Amino acid sequence: MMSIQDQLCAYLVGATKQQFLEDVWTYEKGEGGGRTRVWEEVESDVLEKGGVNFSSISGPELPPAALASMPASLSKSEFRTTGVSVVIHPHSPIVPTIHLNVRYFEAGDLKNNDVQVWWFGGGIDLTPTYPQFSQVVQFHQTLKGIVEKHDQDYGKYKRQCDEYFYLAHRKECRGIGGIFFDHLNSGQPKRQLWEFVQSVGLSLIQLYDPFLKRQSEPYSEQQRQFQLWRRGRYVEFNLLWDRGTKFGIQSNGRTESILMSLPKTATWKYSHTPEKGSAEANLINFYLKPQDWVNLKDQDEDQLLQKANQ
């Protein structure tokens, strides 16, 4: 997992010319710790806020957030978990926010090497403010190829992503999706599952590079303000619905690292509705609704947007 963090950080430094701040920390409620690497903006920076966090912790008892999906017999079991979590919030509203997470979890009588339950989890998803139709389609097609190279089910993981990154109180998805999987521990040998998870972890480089290359495109103050309003939704999801945030808080994890996913700046407007037919309305009425992206073609764009705005 640390190698994934190193490779992603090397890519981001090379692509943005921004150096990260590293914070090495120790898990105070058990054993282990992690390395948090954070980018925070100055005016000329590409990344307004970003983080690539590695952690490896263990504890004597499962936190409540984990118990919900565990047999009652494991309520007093030791746990061990390791993973890498990435969130990038660019300054430009033209470049989308991206989130990636890969993790491994096990529980049981670990002191005696009795692992009673284990699984991998992870995913990657994109949250654009001003999406470009062809790039969104390409993102999903490339991601599908990465997943299916390891004989995994892209369609299933895409549906799970659309369902997970959903703000029920707003009745909208957080972004244009990606993949999400959890409790992955069957169907293939453990080594093969790890190779798939590792591939997902490194996929950010291939998937995000086309978007990051748009960092120098001009944008207006109106577009910037809309980006900040949409970031409010990102904050709402992470604090109200995200299971990883809840697990981290309930396991007495490191708050600074857990909340590194939040953007530097966000705004809220009362009952705001974008103008019909605008790029902002297209985002809400079309892009934030699950689509069969891998089977769409560029010539479908106008018809689909027109239908979504009726």
Catalytic sites, residue numbers: 99
Burial 295-308 (b: 16+ CB within 10 A, else e): ebeeeebeeebeee
Distance between CA atoms of 209 and 206, rounded to whole angstroms?
Answer: 6
Rounded to 5°, the CA angle 36-41-43 comes to 170
Place of tokens 């009745």: 171
Asked if residues 86 and 99 have their Cβ atoms less than 8 Å apart, the reply is yes
Distance between CA atoms of 290 and 44, rounded to whole angstroms?
Answer: 35
Distance between CA atoms of 191 and 296, rounded to whole angstroms?
Answer: 34
Distance between CA atoms of 220 and 132, rounded to whole angstroms?
Answer: 17
Distance between CA atoms of 138 and 1, rounded to whole angstroms?
Answer: 27
CA 282 vs CA 21, 38, 79, 88: distances in Å: 37, 32, 45, 23
Asked if residues 95 and 212 have their Cβ atoms less than 8 Å apart, the reply is yes
225: Cβ contacts below 8 Å, ≥ 6 apart: 267
> What residues does 136 pair with on adjacent strands?
none
Asked if residues 135 and 98 have their Cβ atoms less than 8 Å apart, the reply is no
